[in-house]
C-alpha cells in the first residue's frame, strides 16, 4: 500500500520510519502556494514511477514533475522570501507617497499576478518592456 505525504518539512526518512513493511511512502511536495494550486501549482515527486502513480490516483488533476524534496523546500523558501520582500517594499514606497490602503492593496493584488504571468509567458506590454530595457541599458554601462 502506498502512502502519499505532502508536509513541506517532512522528508522520506521522517515518514518511512512510521510505516509498516507493507506500506510505501511516496513524497508529494507542492511547488508553489496552496492558494494557486488549481491554476498554477505543481506537485513534485521523487521518481517517474511515483509521478505516474500520483497522476493516476488523482486522475491527472494536477501538474506533476520529478524532483527532490530539498529542491522544493529551497525553491519555496527563495520565492516566498523574495516575494514578501518585494511586497513589503512596494507597500512602503506607496505609503511614503501617501497612497491610501485600498489603492495599495488593489494594486498589489491585481498587478503582481499579471506581471508574473506576462513574465513567464514573455508577453509583457510596452510599459514593462520599457522598464526592462532601461535596466538592461543601465547594466550594460557598468
Answer whether 12's CB lies under 8 Å from 29's CB: no
Top-confidence residue, 21 or 134: 134
- Does residue 49 sit in helix, strand or coil? helix
Average pLDDT, whole number, for the chain?
Answer: 90
State how far the alpha carbon of 15 is from the alpha carbons of 11, 12, 25, 26, 67, in Å: 7, 5, 7, 9, 18
Tell me the pLDDT tens digit for each residue of 23-63.
Answer: 888 889 988 888 877 777 799 999 999 999 999 998 888 89
| Helical (H) or strand (E) element with 37 | none
In this prediction the pTM is: 0.80
Three cell numbers written together for 41? 501549482
Q: Where are the alpha helices (DSSP H) in the chain?
A: 12-16, 48-57, 69-96, 101-120, 126-140
Q: What are the boundaries of each domain within the chain?
A: 2-69, 74-140
Amino acid at each position: 500500500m502506498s502512502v502519499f505525504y505532502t508536509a513541506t518539512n517532512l522528508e522520506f526518512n521522517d515518514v518511512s520510519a512510521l510505516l509498516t513493511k507493507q506500506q510505501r511512502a511516496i513524497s508529494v511536495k507542492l511547488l508553489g502556494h496552496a492558494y494557486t494550486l488549481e491554476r498554477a501549482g505543481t506537485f513534485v515527486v521523487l521518481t517517474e514511477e511515483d509521478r505516474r502513480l500520483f497522476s493516476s490516483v488523482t486522475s491527472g488533476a494536477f501538474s506533476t514533475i520529478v524532483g527532490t524534496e530539498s529542491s522544493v523546500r529551497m525553491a519555496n523558501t527563495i520565492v516566498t522570501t523574495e516575494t514578501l520582500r518585494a511586497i513589503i517594499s512596494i507597500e512602503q514606497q506607496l505609503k511614503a507617497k501617501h497612497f491610501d490602503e485600498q489603492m495599495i492593496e488593489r494594486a498589489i493584488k491585481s498587478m503582481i499576478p499579471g506581471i508574473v504571468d506576462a513574465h513567464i509567458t514573455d508577453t509583457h506590454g510596452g510599459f514593462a518592456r520599457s522598464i526592462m530595457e532601461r535596466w538592461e541599458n543601465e547594466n550594460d554601462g557598468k
